[in-house]
């Protein structure tokens, strides 16, 4: 018997504001609510599984084919890093540092000295707008565009003709080594762009993350001899810790293609997938139509994936936070996330209610493989859904 667990994170696919959303000024945010009535949204497979049966969503079917829940984030934040860490069993009681007024000047000066390049911008900015406003100055002077967002990120944008991609990655590694507590941001992100003004970002983005502060389910599975396969930016989010195979992707479409290829081959363990376009291309750009179309594309993929599942396969679909594309904000939103779990050995139609932490997913994955939780958080729901 070869057990395989496919864990797919629809990056930012929230399903309604958390009770403490007001602490982040996210009252009223509902990512799914923003897209579900758009003409581009057509998701019969997700509906059949029970997406709309989840508490607080509404419009469900009589007999859902999956079991389902609404997940509440226990960590203090709404960013990619701590959302994924919590899914993997590590709860973050303290938020990662953010910089609404830009990074301290002494930090910027140190970075300039170590890279030999001047820094421009140094403020929160949209990634597409920042290259419009600062791209020409960068191209003319070679200065690095450093910016942040509402998330705990230090982002460096540079034109690939001015700063070759590998050199940009080296600058990011310099920043990563510098950015330790109290300035231990979750991610340093390379944001290369090219072309003529107004320029376009390339697929060569690369994230340099903090290592999780403790072992995650990924480490525990690897240490027990299981495969831990990452698709998309999972490798970056966990700084490679515990990953036995990494598959980088350039888009949702590519990520789904890679996931399908992995489904068609033999392995024993976890395939952990992140589909980033929901967040990066549509949520942050307030593109309701694009977000709805991306959900439809995933639903089309899902139909074929479900048909090819093996008898000991489990599929779990979730998210790491929200990013409501219909609000004035372009930042992540503090929301519940969906959880759909299905497979030949998984019961259908079980409403697991509202879970107190994303980490219940980690506990469930570990129990499925017979691996102890050790110091990870979470309460497994496997016993409630396993046949």
Show the domains of the chain with their CATH numbers.
4-95+211-385 (3.40.720.10), 105-209 (3.30.70.1250)
Helix (H, G, I), strand (E, B) or coil at 109: helix
**pLDDT over threshold 70, residue 304:** yes
CB-neighbour burial class of residue 119 (10 A; exposed 0-12, middle 13-18, buried 19+): buried
User: In this predicted model, what pLDDT tens digit does every residue of 308-325 receive, in sequence order?
Assistant: 999 999 999 999 999 999
Q: What rounded mean pLDDT belongs to the chain?
A: 97
96-124 confidence digits (pLDDT tens) = 999 999 999 999 999 999 999 999 999 99
The predicted pLDDT at position 150 comes to 85
Nearest to 146 by CA among 177, 114, 179, 191: 191
Burial status of residue 103 (CB atoms within 10 A of its CB: 0-12, 13-18, 19 or more):
buried
pLDDT digits (tens, 9 = 90+) for 126-172: 999 999 999 999 999 999 999 999 889 999 999 999 999 999 999 99
Q: What is the pLDDT of residue 81?
A: 94
Q: Which positions ≥6 away from 71 have C-beta within 8 Å? A: 318, 336, 337, 338, 339, 354, 355, 357, 358, 360, 361
Mean pLDDT of 10-25: 97
The pLDDT of residue 151 is: 87
Q: What pTM did the predictor assign?
A: 0.93
pLDDT tens digits, 189-206: 999 999 999 999 999 999
pLDDT at 146: 98
Q: Which two tokens stand for residue 1?
A: 């018997």
Give the model confidence (pLDDT) of 278-294 as tens digits.
999 999 999 999 999 99
Q: State the pairing for strand pair 4-10/313-318.
A: parallel
Residue position matching structure tokens 């000047």: 105
Average pLDDT value for residue range 349-374: 98
What sign does the dihedral 19-23-27-30 (CA atoms) show?
A: negative
Contacts of 360 (CB under 8 A, 6+ apart): 69, 71, 378, 379, 380, 381
User: Per-residue pLDDT tens for 53-111?
Assistant: 999 999 999 999 999 999 999 999 999 999 999 999 999 999 999 999 999 999 999 99
**pLDDT surpasses 70 at 1:** no
Residue 174 above 80 pLDDT?
yes
| DSSP calls for 135-196 | HHHHHHH--EEEEE-SSSEEEEEEETTTS-HHHHHHHHHHHHHH--TTS--SEEEEEEEESS
Token pair of 304, please? 């074929």
> Percentage of the chain with pLDDT > 90?
98
Alpha carbon 177 to its chain's center: 23
Q: Which of 182, 175, 193, 11 is nearest to 99 (CA)?
A: 182
Which pLDDT score, from 0 to 100, does residue 208 have? Answer: 95
Backbone angles phi, psi at 128, to 5 degrees: -80, -35
As a whole-number percent, the residues of the chain with pLDDT over 70 amount to 100
User: How far apart, in whole angstroms, are the C-alpha atoms of residue 73 and residue 355?
Assistant: 9
Three-state DSSP state, 216: coil
The pLDDT assigned to 371 comes to 98
Q: What is the mean pLDDT of residues 220-242?
A: 97
């Amino acid at each position: 018997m070869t057990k395989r667990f496919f864990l797919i994170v629809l990056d930012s696919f929230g399903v309604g504001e958390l009770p403490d959303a007001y602490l982040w000024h996210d009252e009223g945010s509902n990512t799914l609510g923003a897209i579900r009535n758009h003409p581009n949204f057509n998701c019969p497979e997700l509906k059949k599984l029970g997406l709309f049966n989840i508490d607080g969503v509404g419009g469900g079917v009589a007999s859902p084919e999956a079991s389902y829940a609404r997940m509440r984030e226990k960590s203090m934040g709404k960013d990619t890093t701590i959302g994924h860490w919590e899914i993997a069993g590590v709860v973050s009681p303290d938020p990662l540092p953010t910089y609404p007024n830009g990074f301290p000047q002494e930090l910027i000066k140190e970075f300039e000295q170590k890279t030999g390049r001047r820094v421009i911008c140094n403020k929160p900015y949209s990634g597409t707008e920042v290259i419009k406003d600062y791209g020409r100055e960068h191209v003319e002077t070679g200065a690095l565009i450093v910016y942040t967002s509402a998330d705990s990120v230090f982002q460096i944008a540079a034109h690939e003709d001015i700063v070759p991609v590998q050199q940009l990655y080296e600058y990011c590694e310099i920043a990563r080594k510098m950015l330790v507590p109290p300035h231990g941001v979750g991610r340093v992100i390379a944001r290369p762009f090219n072309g003529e003004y107004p320029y376009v970002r390339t697929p060569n983005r690369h994230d340099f993350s903090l290592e999780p502060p403790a072992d995650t389910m990924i480490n525990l599975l690897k240490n027990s001899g299981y495969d831990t396969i990452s698709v998309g930016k999972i490798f970056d989010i966990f700084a490679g810790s515990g990953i036995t195979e990494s598959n980088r992707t350039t888009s949702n479409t590519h990520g789904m293609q890679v996931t399908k290829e992995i489904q068609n081959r033999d392995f024993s363990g976890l395939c952990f997938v992140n589909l980033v376009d929901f967040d990066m291309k549509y949520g942050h750009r307030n593109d309701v139509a694009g977000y709805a179309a991306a959900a439809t594309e995933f639903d089309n993929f899902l139909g074929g994936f479900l048909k090819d599942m093996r008898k000991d396969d489990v599929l779990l679909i979730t998210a790491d936070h929200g990013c409501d594309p219909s609000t004035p904000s372009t930042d992540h939103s503090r929301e519940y996330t969906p959880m759909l779990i299905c497979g030949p050995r998984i019961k259908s139609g079980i409403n697991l209610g509202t879970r107190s932490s994303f980490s219940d997913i980690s506990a469930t994955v570990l129990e499925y493989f017979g691996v102890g939780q050790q110091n990870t958080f979470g309460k497994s729901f496997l016993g409630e859904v396993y046949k």
